[in-house]
Amino acid sequence: MPLLDTTLLLLLEGYAWLPARWRETQGEMVHTRLMGQHAVVLRGPDAVRFFYDDDHVQRAPALPEPIKSTLFGHGAVHTLDQAAHRARKGMFMSLMTPESVAALVGETTAAWDAAVATWPDRGHVVLFDEAARVITRGACRWAGIPLTEEETGPLAADLVAMVDGFGSPGPRHWRARAARRRREAWLAGLVEDVRRGALRAPDSSALAVAARHREPDGEPLAPRIAAVELLNLVRPTVAVSWFVTFAAHALHCWPVTRVRLAEDADGAYAEAFAHEVRRFYPFAPFVAGKAVKDLTWKGEQILADWLVLLDVWGQNHDPALWPNPCAFDPRRFIGREIGPYDLIPQGGGDPATGHRCPGEPVAVGLLEALAPRLARLDYTVPEQDLTISPYRIPARVASGFVLLPAGAAAPPETAGAKRPRPAVHPL
């Protein structure tokens, strides 16, 4: 019996798509068709090891044009495999040292503290939008990218658009494409300015590193490719605004976590809270690659050129790995050493050699720094729509999470408060 192409179902069902496919199978992997191609779906730590082995699966051939034109960029590190990928990845890893990550977190928390001081005078704050602007400001300072206050809002909006539009057709997708074209052209110009000496960038900054990076053949990156990779540093950093908003959502829905986070003395609970936010809330539903040759997975055949999907959402909610996985409980990470193949919200394996996101320490570091600040902040939550639709990829809090800082006047239309059950685990 021919396999049904489920591409339309993916677009309609969002995060429910893979759970539905698993319910329809009784084997160790799902067989389906996606974008006209035979696809298999794997999950579990052994599947992560299998998927991130370059001798089994390569990522570049599986990246569809719409994702290259929105999220990653054409010619990006994500479009490379094996030696070429490792060489380009080295540039990213050189910028992800503990000292560099701490500097990025420091720039962002300084921007956050300055912004929070202005909140009472501004009335209600949409946290998602504010977090995006603050992180954009901090990330650009860290990266050596010159940015005026007036430019911050439009740049933050473009960076958010690139992430927000990768997972669906329609207006969000076309906004993402336009934002990418606009920002690649802008950053390519800055790279050219650095190379000809018209702009001074600190030697250790991301802008300077990208401008002087050379490929294995000794050639520098084309300005547009350097711009693509700069966006692949700044864009995922700004995407942490999704997690910051999810963190506020968790603090509101489970108030005990706010108390524990506010009283956290040694940072252990803050780290555990950051991991639980990334595990619990929906972001990437899966990652995809192509089989490089005929393979066998737990006795079942995978033919060369089949799509291979790794079920990120399913693994992060697997009861074999996470007891009571639909409960938000940061304590599950207290004293637990996280291996490279179990918690995979940003991929699995070794980031230095594989396709795991090298910026994962940035996401964790920013959440560790910003979530306690939220927990200690005096604010109320006006009535609003705090649902998180499982049918929207990437998912986000419907209202953006509106908060009212102490001392600010509440607009009449947002008076009152409610604490809805979080709609993130309906499957």
pLDDT tens digits, residue range 168-224? 788 999 999 999 999 999 999 999 999 999 999 999 999 999 999 999 999 999 999
DSSP 8-state symbol, 38: E
Higher pLDDT, 25 or 139: 139
- Whether 242 contacts 283, CB under 8 Å: yes
| Nearest CA-CA partner of 345 in 111, 27, 15, 57 | 15
Q: Does 140 count as an annotated binding residue?
A: no
How far apart CA 182 and CA 155 sit, in angstroms, is 10
Per-residue pLDDT at 111 exceeds 50? yes
Tell me what pLDDT residue 92 has.
92
Domain ranges of the chain: 7-414
Q: Three-class SS of residue 326? A: coil
Q: How confident is the model at residue 415 (pLDDT cuts 50, 70, 90)?
A: very low
Tell me what pLDDT residue 28 has.
87
Per-residue pLDDT at 362 exceeds 60? yes
Q: How confident is the model at residue 147 (pLDDT cuts 50, 70, 90)?
A: very high
- Whether 166 contacts 11, CB under 8 Å: no
Q: How far is CA 334 from CA 138, 170, 217, 271, 273, in A?
A: 29, 42, 46, 8, 9
Which of 1.10.630.10, 1.25.40.390, 3.40.50.410, 1.10.8.640 would CATH assign to domain 7-414? Answer: 1.10.630.10
Q: Alpha helices of 265-359 — where are they, by DSSP H?
A: 268-280, 312-315
Higher pLDDT, 62 or 399: 399
**Phi then psi for 401, rounded to 5 degrees?**
65, 90
Average pLDDT, the chain: 92
Dihedral of CA atoms 348, 155, 73, 135 in degrees, nearest 10, equals: -10
User: Average pLDDT for residues 400-409, to the nearest whole number?
Assistant: 88
Q: Pick the range with the lowest mean pLDDT from 61-65, 160-164, 205-209, 394-398.
A: 61-65
Q: Three-class SS of residue 228? A: helix
Residues facing 309 on adjacent strands: 41, 288
Tell me what pLDDT residue 81 has.
84
Dihedral of CA atoms 354, 357, 361, 365 in degrees, nearest 10, equals: -170
**pTM (two decimals):** 0.94
Higher pLDDT, 419 or 359: 359
DSSP 8-state symbol, 388: B
The rounded Cα 335 to chain-centroid distance in angstroms is 25
How far apart CA 125 and CA 116 sit, in angstroms, is 10
- Whether 108 contacts 143, CB under 8 Å: no
Q: How far is CA 410 from CA 128, 155, 406, 413, in A?
A: 19, 29, 10, 8
Q: Pick the range with the lowest mean pLDDT from 181-190, 309-318, 411-420.
A: 411-420
Per-residue pLDDT at 60 exceeds 60? yes
